[in-house]
Amino acid sequence: MKFFVDTADTDAIRELNELGMVDGVTTNPSLIMKSGRDIKEVTKEICDMIPGPVSAETVATDADGMIAEGLELKKIADNIAIKVPLTWAGLKACKALTDQGHMVNVTLCFSPNQALLAAKAGATFISPFVGRLDDINLDGMDLIADIREIYDNYGFETQILAASIRSANHMTKAAKIGADVATAPPDVIRKMAAHPLTDKGLDAFLKDWASTGQKIL
């Protein structure tokens, strides 16, 4: 499973990228707002750092507006994936942009039918929002499983990008189901390395080593 980082924090992206943990980046208007930076400036910096797809989101609500904004965002770098919402206008924009050879990430997906429409429209990525479904007492991972089954049934090439990831457990489940990509905040990716038994075992090893009075260096 590929890891995308869901942030516009370039320092956090750089740290994870140096460890080989970054296959791409997803941004959205809320993340750009948190960064406090100009969208084109910060997106260009991210694209220069990461060779994989970097999703930059349109904010227009009509298809023509999304297409125009997407083409403008695409000028930032070749690895831009234009992000559009899963509305009827968004699907029209997706079809037009993919027909021109551009990567498109269709976001805010909450149902298998929506995912099926996005695949038919040629989306490069479909972004089902796991955490937001969990918030309303539905199991977001059920949606990932449904989309995986549908796409596999018909050989759709659209990649399932599990989004709104809230925990390391979400990452495990997405990988087991077969999501192509999971995008998560930097802290969630870091927490994947944590386990209390690892900490307990390391503490015991260090105490035993200290008792030997030896040094490696």
Residues marked active site are found at 83
- Contact by Cβ (8 Å): 115, 128: yes
| Burial degree of 13 (CB within 10 A; 0-12, 13-18, 19+) | buried
Q: How distant, in Å, are the alpha carbons of 92, 192, 208 from that of 213?
A: 70, 33, 9
Q: How far apart are CA 88 and CA 117, in angstroms?
A: 9
